[in-house]
Amino acid sequence: MNNKLYISLLAAGVAAIASSCSNEVSTRQSLSSPDGRIQVTFDLTPQGRPCYSMVFSGDTIIRPSMLGFELKDQKPLTDGFKMQSVTTDAVDETWVPVWGENDSIENRYNAMTVALKQGDRRLDIEFRVFDNGMGLRYIFPDQSQKTFEITGELTEMAMGGDYTAWWIPGDYDTQEYEYTKSRLSEIRALSTKDQMGNVSQSVFSPTGVQTSLMLKTPDGKYVNLHEASLVNYPAMHLNLNDTTLTFTSQLTPGRGDVVATVDVPFSTPWRTVTVGDKATDILASNLIYNLNEPCALDDTSWIEPVKYMGVWWEMITGKSSWSYTDATDFDLATFDYSAAKPHGNHAANNENVKRYIDFAAANGFDQLLIEGWNVGWEDWFGKEKEYVFDFVTPYPDFDIEELNRYAHSKGIKLMMHHETSGSIENYERHMDAAYDLMNKYGYNAVKSGYVGNILPKGEHHYSQWAVNHYLNAVKKAADHNIMVNAHEAVRPTGLARTYPNLVGNESAMGIEYQNMTPGHVTILPFTRLQGGPMDFTPGIFEMDLSKVSPNNTEHKRATVANQLALYVTMYSPLQMAADLPENYARKMDAFKFIKDVPVDWSESRYLDAEPGEFIVAARREKGKPNWFVGGVTNEHARDYNLSLDFLTPGKTYTATIYADASDAHYDTNPAAYRITTQQVTSADTLPMHMAPGGGFAVSIIAE
Ligand code: NOJ
Ligand code: CA
């Protein structure tokens, strides 16, 4: 079909749908954002179907879109509704996060709750409209039917046009994909291949995608679709009807045909639409956090941002191993490690761990992650065994008491590692003992992981049952004063506001992943980071991995300056310096930026950005006058004039600039950087050059 014809058919479709949702003037309700630029309209169709739309600055972003549910063995909650009442509210408050990009967050919105009835059954729909977007959620009030068995949520988001999207395919178990940029109408054709040519078909439809989904309208407005406060409910994907350009929610299934069981009273997660005139508006948005509940913990004094190193990259690169022996016929319940012959390549041994502790302590780090410290790594991957790890028994060459003592004597905490291999029931059996062990030895942070298929079979990483596990693990950890950084868990939806001990998640392709394209880091803040921080693990200095591990043929696609910039462009209260001590020791001048950069901030400014192209961000150190700036680009070189007008006028600062050299290139010359120092004021502009796959980092210290 030629493009013009397609667009005009689409326009006709839009008009037809629009007229079917707004006949009954009496049921039509409108709600505007505090600044009046966004209007959300709710209505019941003549058939009693709930329906909403959203206009931003004169542009229809969401065309009339239906709301409702399919239920097991019951009449669906889709039509025949009558409106009972409408209540409105307005909130204007400021809250203080335990850690974050800013030391206070404004939460200002207008709200409307529409109470609906279908026969005896009640369903409310609540809308909140902010200056930069909206959220809607369903509320099942207390009523005679106490339990609803949902087999499908039918929330539509009918797009106002054939927007450009940065998407990853729908998948109930992983977000570890590269993003594809295309028009919505092109997703079907492209969904079988990712940018690397790998097959990446959505598991539920050729047009299925995940959230957070970044979009751009033809006239240059930015739109982001996601969800907030995912509690006791499956994660939502989006399934596109590419004829009408309408998304419908696709909930992650678990065992059986009921995807979500809800007991009244119950509120679903928020379905969110964030909008902005500029790309940086999306990066600066707090809409997802604002739609989460306030902090549920009475005492948060034990929660602290963490900069850490790890006995880790040497295993990721294949230089050494998580396991202690080469045993193949292995059963953890009966295996006798004291009689077994070690293969001699186990990284988490006393001597090696002490070497890392010494380096981390000498360079001002807070913590050291050690993976492969516990028994069971001989046979853990994809085995679907019920009993894979016990999370409490160290390998014979890992003296847990002595290593913690040694670390603490040098001002370093060890970071715990719990790889569950997806066997959630096994983890839950051991979790109390595992957290008790952490308390006993003075650990206050755990990196957990969910590699492989979720057990029990039929559950998925993002199903209601698994979602409940991740949050229970975070709550239980809070009872033990433990911070959590969960890999392969469900992608964040702002729950760190409520449980700020959830200091990190992976839930996307991080630097450990092979062959990541340079542009990936210019998309993540628009997508994955919308819901909360990512343990991306930046800071690779040796891109040629054969230098680390001879059989590794990979070459990371980044320059050293780009890796430094990520500590600023990818906000997280938990930041790793992922490379080996020996690789840092060779470049201590560049390493200084990683040592200096804070992990907690008083204010953040996104100076300029475009998804997939580049991001430039500036942040002020928490409670201090010092600023740190980072810029990253995709595979294209880019020049950027960095105006320092965010500095306090009249003050003098010392700027240290870590920049790509003129001949730097992610592939051929990644370590070509230049470090210069100069005095600056708010009147200065620094001309910055970013190499292909490059970037820049600047520390600006008040004199
Ligand atoms: C996958 C995680 O993302 C990675 O960081 C970890 O080292 C391995 N699982 C082993 O747990
Ligand atoms: Ca992972």
Ligand that comes closest to the CA of residue 316: 1
Whether 535 is in the pocket of ligand 1, judged by its Cβ within 6 Å, is no
Question: Would you state the pLDDT for residue 328?
Answer: 87
Question: Ligand 1: which of 316, 423, 487, 536 to mutate, judged by most atoms within 8 Å of the beta carbon?
Answer: 487
The Cα 229–Cα 218 span in angstroms is 30
3-state secondary structure (DSSP) of residue 69: strand
449 lines ligand 1 (CB under 6 A): yes
What's the pTM? 0.95
Query: What's the token pair of residue 695?
Result: 């970037």
All CATH 2.70.98.10 domain ranges of the chain, comma separated, are: 3-290
Q: Which atom of ligand 1 is nearest to the CA of 512?
A: 5
Look at residues 503, 371, 386 and name the one whose alpha carbon lies nearest to residue 445. 503
Q: How far is Cα 656 from Cα 686, in angstroms, rounded to an integer?
A: 11
3-state SS record for 145-213: CCEEEEEEECCEEEECCCCEEEECECCCCCCCCCCEEEEHHHHHHHCCCCCCCCCCCCCCCCCEECCCE
320: pLDDT strictly greater than 90: yes
C-alpha torsion sign, points 504, 506, 509, 513: positive
- CATH number for the segment(s) 301-505: 3.20.20.70
User: Per the structure block, which two tokens stand in for 342?
Assistant: 């070690």
**Region 652-672 average pLDDT:** 98
314 lines ligand 1 (CB under 6 A): no
Among the listed residues 520, 508, 502, 348, the one whose alpha carbon sits nearest the alpha carbon of residue 417: 348
Mutation probe of ligand 1 site: the residue of 374, 512, 513, 540 with most atoms within 8 A of C-beta: 512
Question: 505 C-alpha to center of ligand 1: Å?
Answer: 12
- Relative to the alpha carbon of 447, which ligand is closest? 1
pLDDT score of 45 more than 90? yes
Angle formed at CA 271 by CA 269 and CA 272, multiple of 5 degrees: 125
Q: Does the Cβ of 447 fall within 6 Å of ligand 1?
A: no
Q: Is the CB of 178 under 6 A from ligand 1?
A: no
49-81 pLDDT per residue, tens: 999 999 999 999 999 999 999 999 999 999 999
* Strand-strand pairing, 367-370 and 306-311: parallel
CA distance 237 to 460: 13
pLDDT band at 25; cut points 50, 70, 90: very low
Ligand found nearest the CA of 449? 1
CATH for the 3-290 domain, from 1.10.357.10, 3.40.50.300, 1.10.10.10, 2.70.98.10:
2.70.98.10
- The region of weakest confidence among 200-204, 396-400, 535-539, 645-649 is 200-204
CA of 535 to the centre of ligand 1 (A): 11
Catalytic residues: 512
Cβ atoms within 10 Å of 330's Cβ, excluding its own: 18
**Tally of CB atoms within 10 A around 406:** 18
Measure 89 CA to ligand 2 centroid, in angstroms.
42
419 Cα nearest atom in ligand 1: 11
Ligand 1 close to Cβ of residue 124 (< 6 A): no
Exposure string of 336-353, with b = 16+ CB inside 10 Å and e = fewer, is ebeeeeeeeebbbbeebb
Instruction: Give the pLDDT band (50/70/90) at residue 14.
Output: very low
pLDDT of 21 reads: 55
Q: Does the CB atom of residue 366 touch ligand 1 within 6 A? A: no
pLDDT tens digit sequence for 331-390? 998 999 999 999 999 999 999 999 999 999 999 999 999 999 999 999 998 766 777 899
Measured distance between the N- and C-terminal CA atoms of the chain, rounded to whole angstroms: 64
Contacts of residue 182, Cβ cutoff 8 Å, sequence gap at least 6: 164, 165, 167, 190
For residues 118, 124, 129 and 132, what is the CA-based torsion angle, rounded to 10 degrees?
-90
Q: Is 310 in the pocket of ligand 1 (CB under 6 A)?
A: no
Domain with CATH 3.20.20.70 in the chain: 301-505, 515-530+538-570+579-703
The verdict on the CB of residue 512 being under 6 Å from ligand 1 is yes
Residue 10: strand, helix, or coil: helix
Residue 24 has pLDDT above 50, yes or no: no
Residue 548 has pLDDT above 50, yes or no: yes
Mean pLDDT rounded to a whole number for the chain = 94
At 137 the three-state DSSP class reads strand
Distance 450 CA to ligand 2 centre (A): 8
User: Degrees (nearest 5) of the Cα angle 149, 288, 531?
Assistant: 85
- Structural tokens at position 265: 């009273």
Question: Which residues have C-beta within 8 Å of that of residue 219, sequence separation ≥ 6?
Answer: 59
CATH no. for 515-530+538-570+579-703: 3.20.20.70
Predicted confidence at residue 10, as pLDDT, reads 37
Query: Is pLDDT at 636 greater than 60 in this prediction?
Result: yes
- Dist. CA 424 → ligand 2 center (Å): 16
**95-143 pLDDT, tens digit each:** 999 999 999 999 999 999 999 999 999 999 999 999 999 999 999 999 9
CA 69 to ligand 1 center in whole angstroms? 37
Ligand 1 center–CA 529 separation, angstroms? 19
| Alpha carbons 395 and 375: distance in angstroms, whole number | 5
For atom 11 of ligand 1, the residue with the nearest CA is 419
**H-assigned helices in 444-587:** 464-479, 560-569, 581-585
